[in-house]
Amino acid sequence: KIVVNLGFNDIHCNMAADKVFADYKTLLGKLRGFFPTAKVYLVKVVHAPLFDDYSASEAEFNRLTDETANALGVTLIDWSQKIAACKQNCFHADGVHPNEQGYVLFKQAIADAVANK
């Protein structure tokens, strides 16, 4: 089982969603070459409070991964739903990095996904 967490930094450094998606597919191809039978999970990009201007790019990247997950044989992990449901602040004061509560939810989302597949 391989958990991939990518896209957040690239998108927030002004890389276009389609370019990030192309890089993701390249990485996925390399992973499949080295680990052909591995189950691959992708953590979807979560919205951080500091990056309101990037909501459209985040949504576009997540849309691309949603539309291709089955064809690419990837299970998506969306911990943004857990963040919204907890109704607590899940980010440090910098508005970028998860705080302790955010990492609890991150860990839980990954554990739930990996246990179910």
Residue 22 has pLDDT above 80, yes or no: yes
Rounded to an integer, the average pLDDT of 44-63 is 91
Question: What's the confidence (pLDDT) of residue 117?
Answer: 56
Whether 90 and 98 have beta carbons less than 8 Å apart is answered as yes
- For residue 7, what are its two tokens? 């896209």
pTM of this structure: 0.91
Closest of 41, 43, 49 to residue 84, by C-alpha = 49
Q: What is the mean pLDDT of the chain?
A: 93
pLDDT digits (tens, 9 = 90+) for 76-104: 999 888 888 888 898 899 989 999 999 99
